[in-house]
């Protein structure tokens, strides 16, 4: 069944888009159309296999966006992965389900988003979640996984729990003892999803524990509901831009879409257009529609409909590096274990580091502003940076994520500093919607970002020299002591880090929810400033990076967005 006009058009059937479409289509008198550029991956083994992380990379369900050459980060361009399928990036991600530190979400309110804080978002994390209690799965016995019942939701569509990839050979417990034995002990955290993340923990994932397959946005929010006659999905269809009503206020009346067969047409929405194309696409759709920085738009002959120069700015991502070590025992499964240390657990001289960083914030803010032609203002960025500084040095959020992954005779690690200060941007580079964008995260633009990334590597070396882990490990195989000496200074680490990092695939904030006067693109109801009926509900709206992986927070934002939209209509 298909209607000629829809009440709502959701652009992008990904992680956030399917949540909003599902919740709006709970209202029987409302017609919702989801337009998704990719196809269905319901039976794609690169998606469903819980141990298949990475198998989908480079295939036709990966957008594999390319960045500009990274001037401060090794010179080469980076690849930014993103899912091109019903389910979006949730079909190719690492499935990790971790939220944020409470104070980080509270900072969204501090920056000027009244009503957006941990207390108001926490119920939405739980609303979406269908937590699977580990004691129901016998293979998890002895694995060390644990949870705090009050921190989870049990009736939501999104299955969260553990897969059979979890080990129950005592490794989790030995790792726990090792963390506690470090010079500055890392405490055990039973459940990192209650707003307190610091410590060593065994996090859950988006998996169907019973079937042992990936849980993604489509499996959770679409397939079980696809018989709803008011929920429509077009696959393999690319939205090119919004179309506008004639009149005095700026109101969208539909979108221009190119279908799988190559034909381009317009489809109408009577109420709203909801952008959920991801943080590297939604801002571009605004620009292609005339909402953005007139200097960018005029370069490509696009008439400015709404002068909103910060569209595409504030891009924040993290950088991912890894160290590897020989293991004395062989592992047949490849689970991962995480630790979230705070700044005083990673830097022995945290107070001095904090003082120096604080003194550098005005300079950093000026550097960011000048890099984007003062589109975002130095004084505003300085304020954001001070909020970020307070989170690190006063609220003691995790300053790094340390992942340990045994496999075969190897311990791989992956790590990243959680809250880099660099701000980049994404903009169109043509009026052609199929053309590649200009994406520039500006990795390592600011010294502290490298310093934090370096210190986290030293932390991992210390971990592997601490008992009982030290006795279980052979030598460091990457980078290895001949490449980066045991006593290497920051400079000694720098070339390894800058030549071997990748994106951590957590780009956010390109249509930031903030007051307009400090550079926001959407207001607290996620509506684009200056436009009466267009919202953004994806990773683009997050004003600051979170310490947990992104998806749980994106699902929660989208759950709340649906309630906001319902309440207004």
Q: Choose, from 152, 232, 427, 506, the residue flagged as catalytic.
A: 506
User: From CA 48, how far away is CA 127, in angstroms rounded?
Assistant: 24
3-state secondary structure 467-534: CCHHHHEEEEEECCCCCCCCCCCHHHHHHHHHHHCEECCCCECCCCECCHHHCCCECCCCEECCCCCE
Cα–Cα–Cα angle for 207, 541, 113, rounded to 5 degrees: 115
User: From CA 19, how far away is CA 565, in angstroms rounded?
Assistant: 12
Paired tokens of 455: 């210190």
Candidates 81-89, 160-168, 196-204, 366-374; binding stretch for ligand FDA (CB under 6 A): 81-89
Looking at the Cβ atoms of 266 and 374, the one nearer to ligand FDA is 266
Paired tokens of 373: 């032609």
38 touching ligand FDA, by CB under 6 A? yes
User: From CA 333, how far away is CA 169, in angstroms rounded?
Assistant: 11
Residues from 476 through 535 that contact ligand FDA (CB under 6 A): 505-506
Candidates 15-23, 40-48, 263-271, 400-408; binding stretch for ligand FDA (CB under 6 A): 15-23
Residue 520 has a CB neighbour count (10 Å cut-off) of 24
15 touching ligand FDA, by CB under 6 A? yes
Candidates 10-18, 20-28, 365-373, 494-502; binding stretch for ligand FDA (CB under 6 A): 10-18
Task: Write down the least CB distance from residue 285 to ligand FDA, Å.
Answer: 6
Alpha helices per DSSP H over 81-158:
102-110, 118-128
Half-sphere exposure of 159 (CA within 13 A, CB side): 18
Candidates 34-42, 105-113, 126-134, 488-496; binding stretch for ligand FDA (CB under 6 A): 34-42
Task: Write down the least CB distance from residue 483 to ligand FDA, Å.
Answer: 26
Active site residue 136: no
273 touching ligand FDA, by CB under 6 A? no
Looking at the Cβ atoms of 182 and 508, the one nearer to ligand FDA is 508
**Mask: binding to ligand FDA, 528-567, rule CB under 6 A, as x and -?**
----------xx---------xxxx-x-------------
Of 95, 315, 381, 513, the one binding ligand FDA by CB under 6 A: 95
Q: Give the count of residues interacting with ligand FDA (CB under 6 A).
A: 39
User: From CA 523, how far away is CA 561, in angstroms rounded?
Assistant: 12
DSSP helix/strand/coil, 18: helix
Residues from 227 through 266 that contact ligand FDA (CB under 6 A): 238-239
Active site residue 549: yes
Helix 378-393, helix 102-110: angle, nearest 10? 150
Residue 279 has a CB neighbour count (10 Å cut-off) of 30
Q: Judging by beta carbons within 10 Å of its beta carbon (0-12, 13-18, 19+), is residue 447 exposed, middle or buried? A: middle
455 touching ligand FDA, by CB under 6 A? no
Looking at the Cβ atoms of 281 and 305, the one nearer to ligand FDA is 281
Candidates 176-184, 275-283, 286-294, 512-520; binding stretch for ligand FDA (CB under 6 A): 275-283
Question: Counting every residue, how long is the chain?
Answer: 569
Looking at the Cβ atoms of 531 and 558, the one nearer to ligand FDA is 558
Task: Write down the least CB distance from residue 60 to ligand FDA, Å.
Answer: 11
Of 9, 11, 350, 534, the one binding ligand FDA by CB under 6 A: 11
User: From CA 132, how far away is CA 493, in angstroms rounded?
Assistant: 42
Residue 282 has a CB neighbour count (10 Å cut-off) of 29
Task: Write down the least CB distance from residue 248 to ligand FDA, Å.
Answer: 28
219 touching ligand FDA, by CB under 6 A? no
Q: Give the catalytic positions in this structure.
A: 506, 549
List of residues contacting ligand FDA (CB under 6 A): 11-17, 35-38, 81-84, 88-90, 92-96, 238-239, 276-279, 281, 505-506, 538-539, 549-552, 554
């Amino acid at each position: 069944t298909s209607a000629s006009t829809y009440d709502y058009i959701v652009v992008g059937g990904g992680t956030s888009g399917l949540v909003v479409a599902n919740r709006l289509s709970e209202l029987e008198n409302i017609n919702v159309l989801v337009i998704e550029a990719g196809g269905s991956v319901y039976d794609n083994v690169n998606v469903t296999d819980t141990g298949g992380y990475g198998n989908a990379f480079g295939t036709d369900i990966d957008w594999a966006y390319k960045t500009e050459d990274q001037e401060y980060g090794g010179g080469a361009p980076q690849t930014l992965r993103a899912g091109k399928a019903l389910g979006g990036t949730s079909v190719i991600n690492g499935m990790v389900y971790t939220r944020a530190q409470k104070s980080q979400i509270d900072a969204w309110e501090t920056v000027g988003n009244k009503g957006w804080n941990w207390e108001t978002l926490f119920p939405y994390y739980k609303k979406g979640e269908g937590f699977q209690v580990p004691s129901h799965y016998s293979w998890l016995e002895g694995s060390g996984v644990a949870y705090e019942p009050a921190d989870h939701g049990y009736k939501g569509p999104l299955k969260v729990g553990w897969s059979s990839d979890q080990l129950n050979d005592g490794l989790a417990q030995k790792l726990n003892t090792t963390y506690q034995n470090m010079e500055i002990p890392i405490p055990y955290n039973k459940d990192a999803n209650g707003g307190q993340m610091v410590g060593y923990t065994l996090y859950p994932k988006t998996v169907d524990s019973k079937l042992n397959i990936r849980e993604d946005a489509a499996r959770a929010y679409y397939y079980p509901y696809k018989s709803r006659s008011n929920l429509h999905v077009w696959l393999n269809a690319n939205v090119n831009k919004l179309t506008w009503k004639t009149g005095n206020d700026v109101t969208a009346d539909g979108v221009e879409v190119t279908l799988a067969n190559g034909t381009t047409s317009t489809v109408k929405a009577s109420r709203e257009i909801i952008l959920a194309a991801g943080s590297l696409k939604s801002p571009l759709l605004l620009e292609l529609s005339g909402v953005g920085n007139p200097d960018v738009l005029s370069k490509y002959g696009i008439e400015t409909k709404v002068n909103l120069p910060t569209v595409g700015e504030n891009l924040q991502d993290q950088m991912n590096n890894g160290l590897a070590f020989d293991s004395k025992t062989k592992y047949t499964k490849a689970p991962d274990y995480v630790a979230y240390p705070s700044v005083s657990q990673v830097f022995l001289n945290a107070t001095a580091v904090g003082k120096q960083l604080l003194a550098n914030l005005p300079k950093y803010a000026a550097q960011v502003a000048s890099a984007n032609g003062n589109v975002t203002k130095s004084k505003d960025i300085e304020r954001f940076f001070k909020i970020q500084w307070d989170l690190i040095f006063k609220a003691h959020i995790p300053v790094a994520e340390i992942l340990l992954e045994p496999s075969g005779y190897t311990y791989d690690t992956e790590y990243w500093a959680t809250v880099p200060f660099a701000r980049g941007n994404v903009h169109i580079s043509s009026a052609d919607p199929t053309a590649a964008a200009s994406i520039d995260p500006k990795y390592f633009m600011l010294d502290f970002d490298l310093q934090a990334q370096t210190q986290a590597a030293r932390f991992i070396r210390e971990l592997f020299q601490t008992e009982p882990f030290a006795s279980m490990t052979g030598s460091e195989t990457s980078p290895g002591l001949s490449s980066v000496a045991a006593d290497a200074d920051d400079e000694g680490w720098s070339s390894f880090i800058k030549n071997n990092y990748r994106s951590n695939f957590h780009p956010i904030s390109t249509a930031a929810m903030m007051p307009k006067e400090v550079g926001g693109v959407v207001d607290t109801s996620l509506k684009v400033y200056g436009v009466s009926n267009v919202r953004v509900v994806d990773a683009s709206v997050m004003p600051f990076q979170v310490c947990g992986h992104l998806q749980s927070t994106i699902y929660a934002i989208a759950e709340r967005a649906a309630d906001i939209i319902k309440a207004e209509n």
